[in-house]
Chain A
Amino acid sequence: NAGVTQTPKFRILKIGQSMTLQCTQDMNHNYMYWYRQDPGMGLKLIYYSVGAGITDKGEVPNGYNVSRSTTEDFPLRLELAAPSQTSVYFCASSPEGPNDEQYFGPGTRLTVT
C-alpha cells in the first residue's frame, strides 16, 4: 500500500492564482482531512470528510474548497491565492474518525508571492 499520497511536493504561486492540491489514499478509509502547518503553530484543520460525498469545514476554511467524489481522493482547491496561504499542507486519513489513528501524507510546501 502506498498509504496517503500528495502532489505536488512543492509549489510557488503568484497572488491571485489558483491551484489544486491532490490527496489520495489506498487504505479505504472513510475519514479524510486537510491540515495546514504554519511555523511555530500547531496543525490547523481546514476541511474534513467523513465519506464520499460528505465534507465539512474545519477551523480555517476561508479561501479553500474541497470535494470528495470517491473514497480515495480528497483534493483541496485554493482560489485566488494570498500570501497568508503560504504554509505546509498535510492530508491525512483515518478509518473511523479522529478517535482513531491518523495516517498522514508527506505534505505540500506552498509559497504564495
Chain B
Amino acid sequence: KNEVEQSPQNLTAQEGEFITINCSYSVGISALHWLQQHPGGGIVSLFMLSSGKKKHGRLIATINIQEKHSSLHITASHPRDSAVYICAVLTGTASKLTFGTGTRLQVTL
C-alpha cells in the first residue's frame, strides 16, 4: 500500500462545478503539500498545511490529522484549472516528501 493515496485518479467536470480531490495517508505527518502540475509539465506549490484549513482565491485545502486525510476544493471551476493535482506528505522525522500519483482534472466548457 502506498503511503499517499489520491482519489479520484481522473476527474472531468463542467465549468462552474465545485470540485473535491482527496488525499489519504497512512503514517503520521508533520506537513502536507498540495501542488499543481500544468499540462505543459511545470509544477507549482499551492498550499502547505499541518492543521485546519487554508484558502487562496477559489482554492481551499483542509486537513484532518486524526483521520489522516486532506481535501483540495475548487469552487466555480474553470477550464484553466485543468491540471494534475498532487498531494505530498512530510513524515515526522523524514527530510523528504512522499508524493501521491496525482489527480488529473479536466474542466470543460
Contact = CB atoms under 8 A, between A and B. Distances in A.
Contact of A107 (B42, B96, B97): B42
Contact of B98 (A42, A56, A101, A106): A42
B99 interface: yes
Interface of B is mostly: strand
B102 A42 contact: yes
Interface string A32-63: 00000000111111001000000010110000
Interface stretch (A20-28, A64-72, A92-100): A92-100
B44 A104 contact: yes
Nearest to A31: B95
Contacts of B41: 88, 106-107, 109
Nearest to A100: B48
Contacts of A87: none
Range of interface residues on A (Cβ < 8 Å): 20 to 34
A101 B43 contact: no
B95 A97 contact: yes
B30 interface: yes
Contact of B30 (A59, A99, A107): A99
Tell me which of B30, B41, B90 has the highest count of chain A C-beta atoms within 10 A of its own C-beta: B41
Tell me which of A44, A99, A109 has the highest count of chain B C-beta atoms within 10 A of its own C-beta: A99
30 contacts: A41-B101, A42-B2, A42-B98, A42-B99, A42-B100, A42-B102, A43-B88, A45-B96, A45-B97, A56-B95, A58-B96, A59-B96, A88-B41, A97-B95, A98-B31, A98-B94, A98-B97, A99-B31, A100-B48, A101-B45, A101-B48, A102-B33, A103-B45, A104-B43, A106-B41, A106-B42, A107-B41, A107-B42, A107-B43, A109-B41
